[in-house]
Amino acid sequence: GAGWWVLRDAPTNTDTEPAMIRTMLVLALLACGGELLAAPPTIEGVAPGVGQRGTAFTLTVTGARLNDPQELMLYAPGVTCTKLTASGENAVTATLTAAPDCPLGEYAFRLRTAGGASEVRTFRVSPFPVAVEAEPNDARERAQPVPPNTSVAGVVEAGDVDHFAVALKKGQRLAAEVEGVRMGGELNDTAVTVFGPDGKELAAADDTPLFRQDAFV
């Protein structure tokens, strides 16, 4: 355990003067126990990585040395963490509440455990309800139906193709946007293609001037 040691000069042995302490040095000795020498946590993934403004939502943080979570350190107002639950050393579920008037967009955080604080990771707050991607949706005939004004949380692997079906009325406008690189993950180079009901390609985008590899149409 930790302890304090006091080092001082030996008293002078004289018959006429009391012993005088001339020097005192206090050393704080750190214990070599595992807890004090534990490495800080590291985060490898955040899922789904997005929540809706004005609601409570959960994020699953995965990585290493995540046991004994103490705090989700947030750096901007509007979103608060109300609960942290560890599932062993490799996963923590965080329950968050986004205020109805909180700013939209990116929020940075660190996870603090008994071993220290993690690197900075991010999640996003959307104005729309969040739908989780449902596989298989790798072909147009297996496209996942989603209503307009929806944020879809999913994973795009290397070479992966995901399809989503949106029902529109004549004259309605469609906007589709990928948020991948902006979430701080791997540098995926995504592309977006829009097909009509007959399968004809209507629009396509790869790199864009505004968001680079995060394509939008």
pLDDT of residue 13: 52
Nearest by Cα to 112 from 168, 65, 166: 65
Q: What is the 3-state secondary structure (H, E, C) of 118-152?
A: CCCEEEEEECCCEEECCCCCCCHHHCEECCCCCEE
Calpha distance 172→161 (Å, rounded): 25
Res 192 pLDDT > 70? yes
Res 15 pLDDT > 60? no
Res 4 pLDDT > 60? no
Calpha distance 101→161 (Å, rounded): 35
Q: Are 203 and 196 in contact (CB under 8 A)?
A: no
pLDDT of residue 29: 37
Res 179 pLDDT > 90? no
pLDDT of residue 38: 72
Res 45 pLDDT > 80? yes
Q: Express as a percent the part of the chain with pLDDT over 70.
A: 81
Calpha distance 47→151 (Å, rounded): 13
Res 186 pLDDT > 70? no
Res 6 pLDDT > 90? no
What does the pLDDT look like over 68-94, one tens digit per residue? 999 999 999 999 999 999 998 999 999
Res 204 pLDDT > 90? yes
Q: What pLDDT band is residue 175 in, cutting at 50, 70 and 90?
A: very high
Query: Taking the complete model, does pTM exceed 0.85, yes or no?
Result: no
The kind and range of the H/E element at 111 are strand 105-113
Mean pLDDT to the nearest integer, 25-53: 70
pLDDT of residue 18: 46
